[in-house]
């Protein structure tokens, strides 16, 4: 999977991929992860992928919040928090 293919996934899938990459990068051995040796280049690529996933998830959260705030839809969050930000 390449960084430019991240737009195809939903938030839940991106979170799962991010967690798996982060576990692998930190050296945590789980049953669902393959037991191969990662080279420095693989670790750098995984770190770049994690950074790109975090950036995309943050952008999606911001856009969803702005759509709820300015879109005229009912805000399903905490109304006291919404009033405090106005």
- What residue ranges do the domains of the chain occupy? 3-85
Q: What is the pLDDT of residues 42-69, one digit of tens each?
A: 889 889 988 988 888 888 888 888 877 7
Q: Left (φ > 0), alpha (ψ -120 to 50) or beta: where does 8 sit?
A: alpha
Residue 73 near residue 38 (C-beta atoms within 8 A): no
pTM over 0.75: no
Residue 82 pLDDT exceeds 80: no
């Amino acid at each position: 999977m390449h960084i430019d293919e991240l737009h195809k996934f939903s938030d839940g899938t991106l979170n799962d991929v991010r967690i798996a990459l982060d576990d692998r990068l930190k050296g945590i051995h789980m049953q669902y992860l393959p037991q191969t040796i990662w080279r420095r280049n693989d670790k750098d690529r995984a770190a770049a992928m994690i950074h790109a996933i975090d950036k995309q998830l943050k952008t999606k959260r911001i856009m969803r919040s702005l759509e709820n705030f300015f879109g005229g839809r009912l805000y399903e969050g905490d109304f006291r928090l919404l009033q405090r930000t106005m």
